[in-house]
Homo-oligomer: A and B are copies of this chain.
C-alpha cells in the first residue's frame, strides 16, 4: 500500500474531502463488511444488513438536524440538479409559478430548469454594500402572491456568498443546502423542503438528500419520472429502485463521525473558527482580498484574489507542492477558492494561512 501523505489538505469545492477517520474505516472494511466476506456495495439493498444501514443513517441525520416527525427524509439519485426538475414537478400542484430567489450561479441554474415546468417569478437579490458584493435582506424580497413556494440557495459556492436570513411568508420555503447542510444549526420546521447533494458535507457524489414536509406530498405532476416522485420514494423508503448503496453507507459513516465530533452545534463552532482565521488573515493583508461583504461571507467557500493576478499560477503551483490541494477558483470567476467544509480540520486552514503568509513575504 502506498504511504499516506499526512500533510495533504484538500480544499476541493466538491466532490470534496471526507473525514479521514471515515475513509479509514471504509478502507478497512471494504472487502469484508460486518464479517460477511463481501463489501457493503456487493449486497442487496433489500437485505436486512443493508436496510439496517439505511435506517441508521436516516435516524442519525434526524438526530443531527432535529428533524421533526412530520418530515420525510429521502435518499435519492441524481444530485441536486435532478432536484431542480423534481421540485417544480412535485410541488407546483395546480400553480403556474413559484418565486425563485436569485443570488448567484446555482440559484439561477435552478431557475433555468424550473422554466420547463412553470413561469418562475425571479427575484434578483445580489447587491453591493460599500463596494462589496452582498445580498438584499429577506424582508425586502418580493414574493409573488400566487407562488406555490419560494426557492433559494443559502450558499453560492462559486462566489462564496451566503444568505443568512429567511423571509416571513406563508409559502413553503425550499432551500438548496448542498454546500451548507450539517455545517451549522438550522430550524428545519421553518422550511417546506431542504435538499442537498452529498458531495460537500455528507458523502461521495451520486446521492442527494431530501427532507420534505409530509403535507407537501401527493401533488406530483403526472409526468414526473418515478425516481423523482417524492410520494413514490417516501412510500418505498427511498427504495423504489436500487439506491446508490455505497454512497448511502458512506453518508451514514459521516453522520456517525459528526455525532462523535459533538454534533452540528460543535462543528458549527469549529467552522466559524476556521472561517474567521482565514477571513481575518485576508482582511489584514493588502496582498490578498475577498470581495464579499462580511455580512454575506460564506463559512464554507472562501474565494480570494491576489493583488497581483499574474502570480496566480505560481501560487497554485507552490500551494500544491506544499500539500494544499484544489485551491483554484471556479472557472467562471478565476482567482483562488478554499472550500472548508466540515471535514477540513482547523490545522488545514492554519496550514493554508501559514503558506499564504510565506508566499506574500516572498512575492509582495
Please list the residues of chain A having a beta carbon within 8 angstroms of any beta carbon in chain B. Answer: 1-5, 7-8, 10, 12-18, 20, 23-24, 26-32, 35-39, 41-45, 47, 77-82, 84-86, 89, 113, 116-117, 197, 199, 204-207, 222-223, 225-228, 240-247, 323, 325-326
Interface of A is mostly: loop
Q: Are B227 and A81 in contact (CB under 8 A)?
A: yes
| B-chain residues with CB within 8 Å of residue A226 when the two chains form the complex | 81, 84-85, 113
Q: How far is the CB of A230 from chain B (nearest CB, A)?
A: 14
Q: Are B36 and A325 in contact (CB under 8 A)?
A: yes
| B-chain residues with CB within 8 Å of residue A84 when the two chains form the complex | 225-226
Q: How far is the CB of A268 from chain B (nearest CB, A)?
A: 23
Q: Could you tell me the distance between the alpha carbons of A44 and B242 in the complex, rounded to whole angstroms?
A: 25
Which of B44, B77, B323 contacts A78 (CB under 8 A)?
A: B77
Given A18-B42, A27-B30, A326-B43, do A2 and B35 touch, yes or no (CB 8 Å)?
A: yes
Q: How far is the CB of A200 from chain B (nearest CB, A)?
A: 10
Q: Are B81 and A241 in contact (CB under 8 A)?
A: yes
Given A23-B30, A32-B3, A35-B2, do A15 and B245 touch, yes or no (CB 8 Å)?
A: yes
| B-chain residues with CB within 8 Å of residue A323 when the two chains form the complex | 37
| B-chain residues with CB within 8 Å of residue A38 when the two chains form the complex | 8, 10, 12, 17, 325
| B-chain residues with CB within 8 Å of residue A227 when the two chains form the complex | 78-79, 81-82, 85
Given A79-B241, A82-B225, A86-B225, do A45 and B15 touch, yes or no (CB 8 Å)?
A: yes
Q: How far is the CB of A296 from chain B (nearest CB, A)?
A: 25
